[in-house]
């Protein structure tokens, strides 16, 4: 049965009942224009899920694709695994797509997986082993990032250091969206009301029992990444401002330090002029100081603007996403079990 959602469901073209069969695992795959890889991703994932005991489901969240990815996903059909297709009304971004998948996931364990196959589905059994040991969150840490430039690897390393230095929570370094969450953690995440979502921080915020598994991240199977450096910079700003007010405090401290320095420097000039009769000079140096102060002021205003902008977005209370289509395809074996129980 399709679960209720806080957003509008415009069309539900295939509505099937398979709630009678408890779900062990939900795998959420958000995608946007991944026609060149989505079929390979599905086949590899199904091969892994067929080895897992218990009922599994795959939730494909289409973030407004325009390249035929949707048509490919709608053609998928499996005997042992339930499939669910969620089509958003437009491209809302990956954070919103993952949130939509978490709202619909019903498994006792939930795994988020990118469609580009950089995160190998073959690691899912190891993640489930840790979950069965009692861990609520299984973080997958990238010890090697194949197919990425040294600039991107270096910038990512610097970002995690800055984020953890400023953030009030500990965000695991080099851990992306690929991770396992227990049902309890997912329920808490779904209750978070914020519209400005940095999911890596949201995944870390609940806490609970966590463990980390290292793995080598593969290069993209096909296609090109949707994340350019501009988008990555915006995501980094979202991560810092969503989980810390330290940038505002740094701006305050910086302002106080500059004001104190200006007062001391002014007193030195007065003393040198009145006592030692020195002529005040140094027009170029004063221009440099003024330009530096102007740059710092604009930087502080920009920091405040980032927080004010987030307040503005939150105050509008718009939904995080809109769903246009939901299609359920229950597993054949699950349907047979339900018919026998009925």
Separation CA 219–CA 146 (nearest Å): 5
Separation CA 322–CA 335 (nearest Å): 29
| E strand or H helix at 78 | none
Range scoring the smallest mean pLDDT among 12-21, 84-93, 122-131, 133-142: 12-21
Q: Does 41 have pLDDT greater than 80?
A: yes
C-alpha distance across the termini of the chain, in Å: 15
Q: Does 329 have pLDDT greater than 70?
A: yes
Write out pLDDT tens, residues 184-237.
899 988 888 887 777 877 887 787 888 888 888 766 555 565 555 566 666 667
Helix ranges (H only) for 11-149 are 38-49, 69-74, 94-104, 124-132
Domain 9-228+318-341 has CATH 3.40.50.970: no
Write out pLDDT tens, residues 101-151.
998 888 889 999 988 888 888 889 988 988 888 888 888 888 776 656 666
Separation CA 309–CA 207 (nearest Å): 28
Q: Does 311 have pLDDT greater than 70?
A: yes
| E strand or H helix at 112 | strand 109-112
Residue 339 banded pLDDT, cuts 50, 70, 90: very low
- φ/ψ bin of 309: left (φ > 0), alpha (ψ from -120 to 50), beta (otherwise): alpha
Question: Could you please report the per-residue DSSP string of 163-200?
Answer: HHHH-SS-PPTTEEEEEEEEHHHHHHHHT---SS--HH
> By the 8 A CB rule, do 103 and 174 touch?
no
Which pLDDT does position 13 carry in this prediction?
30
Which pLDDT does position 27 carry in this prediction?
92
Give percent of the chain above pLDDT 90: 5
């Amino acid at each position: 049965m399709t679960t209720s959602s806080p957003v509008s469901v415009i069309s539900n073209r295939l509505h099937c009942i398979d709630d009678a069969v408890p779900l062990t695992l939900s795998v959420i795959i958000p995608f946007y224009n991944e026609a060149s890889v989505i079929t390979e991703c599905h086949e590899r994932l199904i091969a892994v899920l067929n080895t897992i005991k218990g009922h599994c489901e795959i939730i494909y969240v289409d973030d407004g694709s325009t390249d035929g990815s949707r048509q490919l996903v709608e053609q998928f059909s499996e005997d042992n695994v339930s499939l669910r297709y969620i089509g958003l009304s437009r491209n809302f971004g990956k954070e919103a797509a993952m949130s939509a998948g978490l709202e619909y996931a019903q498994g006792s364990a939930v795994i988020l997986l990118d469609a580009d196959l950089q995160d190998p589905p073959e690691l899912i059994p190891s993640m489930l082993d840790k979950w069965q040991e009692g861990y609520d969150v299984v973080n997958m840490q990238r010890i090697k990032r194949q197919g990425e430039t040294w600039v991107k690897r270096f910038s990512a390393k610097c970002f995690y250091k800055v984020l953890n230095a400023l953030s009030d929570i500990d965000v695991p370094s080099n851990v992306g969206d690929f991770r396992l969450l227990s049902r309890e953690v997912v329920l808490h995440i779904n209750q978070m009301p914020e519209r400005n979502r940095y999911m890596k921080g949201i995944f870390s915020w609940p806490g609970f029992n966590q463990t980390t598994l290292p793995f080598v991240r593969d290069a993209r199977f096909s296609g090109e990444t949707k994340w350019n450096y501009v988008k990555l910079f915006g995501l980094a700003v979202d991560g810092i401002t969503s989980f810390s007010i330290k940038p505002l405090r740094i701006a305050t401290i910086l302002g106080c330090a500059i004001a104190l320095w200006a007062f001391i420097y002014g007193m030195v000039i007065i003393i040198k002029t009145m006592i030692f009769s020195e002529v005040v000079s140094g027009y170029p140096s004063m221009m440099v100081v003024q330009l530096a102060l102007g740059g710092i002021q604009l930087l502080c205003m920009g920091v405040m603007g980032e927080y004010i902008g987030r307040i503005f977005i939150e105050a509008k209370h718009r939904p995080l996403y809109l769903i246009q289509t939901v299609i359920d395809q229950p597993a054949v074996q699950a349907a047979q079990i339900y018919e026998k129980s009925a």
